[in-house]
Amino acid sequence: MQLYYHKTDGGAEYLTDSYVLCPNGHKEGSFGNSKYIVRVDGDITKDAELMIKELIELVNRYSNDILDIIDDANEFTRSDLQGAVSVIVRKIINELK
């Protein structure tokens, strides 16, 4: 996979899997159509965070379910909560297929 560099006006640095073609012919990383976004934080050889846009969107879609589980945490056993989280994770994984 080819990754393309992008630096925001605020100085944050990213590598993305899509790009926009600049007037000078340079390919600059773009968030718009990217599925994979790597945030470079500090030393690239030590610190980077991978964000998978589709996964983030799915987690956001199920965030109310997750928050409901947290709100009801006192009413359930740890095993019950693990089961509920497993169901949500399976839903997310199935949507990624």
Question: Which residue ranges of the chain lie beneath pLDDT 50?
Answer: none
- DSSP letters spanning 10-66: TS-EEEES-EEE-TTS-EEE-STT-SEEEEE-S-TTT-EEEEEHHHHHHHHHTHHHH
Other Cβ atoms within 10 Å of 15 Cβ, number: 19
pTM of the complete model? 0.54
pLDDT number for residue 96: 65
Instruction: Please provide the average confidence, as pLDDT, over all residues in the chain.
Output: 80
Other Cβ atoms within 10 Å of 95 Cβ, number: 13
> Which residue, chain included where needed, has tokens 């080819």?
2
Q: Which amino acid is at 13?
A: E
pLDDT number for residue 97: 58
The contacts of residue 22 (CB under 8 Å, 6+ apart) are 28
The contacts of residue 19 (CB under 8 Å, 6+ apart) are 4, 27, 28, 29, 30
